[in-house]
């Protein structure tokens, strides 16, 4: 079983719709969770992080964490074509070395 799992996609949504990206993780002791966006040929950029159960909102983005279900998601409201990218879920390992385990990413396509 992979430590961090994401559906590779592509997830296709029309412009203006809500895109929902999901991620599950295997280490129940994980405490920190991150979403990164990566455009083709570029390096990842941090969108947001979440540490506590529940929702965390930042502009058009909402991260949702459910530790009991070992599930973290990212909602993108009012999706724009510029949101088309690969979204990487990353989970902090409980090793004290600040390592992150990355999922393979979900490719999002927002059509005009």
Partner 1 sequence: GAVVSQHPSRVICKSGTSVKIECRSLDFQATTMFWYRQFPKQSLMLMATSNEGSKATYEQGVEKDKFLINHASLTLSTLTVTSAHPEDSSFYICSASSSGSTDTQYFGPGTRLTVL
- Which residues here bind partner 1, judged by CB under 8 A? 32, 34, 36, 41-46, 49, 88, 90, 92, 97-100, 102-105
Question: How far is Cα 88 from Cα 38, in angstroms, rounded to an integer?
Answer: 7
CB of 68 to partner 1, least distance (A): 22
For partner 1, which is the closer residue by CB, 39 or 59? 39
* Nearer to partner 1 (CB atom), residue 18 or residue 46: 46
Distance in angstroms (rounded) separating the CA atoms of residues 93 and 99? 6
In degrees, rounded to 5, the angle at the alpha carbon of residue 53 between the alpha carbons of residues 57 and 14 is: 40
Least distance in angstroms from the C-beta of 49 to partner 1: 6
CB 21, CB 106: distance < 8 Å: yes
By C-beta, is 43 or 112 nearer to partner 1?
43
């Amino acid at each position: 079983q992979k430590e961090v799992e994401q559906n590779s996609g592509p997830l296709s949504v029309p412009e203006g719709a809500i895109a929902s990206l999901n991620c599950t993780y295997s280490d129940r002791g994980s405490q920190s969770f991150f979403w990164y966006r990566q455009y083709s040929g570029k390096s990842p950029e941090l969108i947001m992080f979440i540490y506590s159960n529940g929702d965390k909102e930042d502009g058009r983005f909402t991260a949702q964490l459910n530790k009991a279900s070992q599930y973290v998601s990212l909602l993108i409201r009012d999706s724009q074509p510029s949101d088309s990218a690969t979204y990487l879920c990353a989970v902090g390992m409980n090793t004290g070395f600040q390592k992150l385990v990355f999922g393979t990413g979900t490719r999002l396509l927002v059509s005009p």
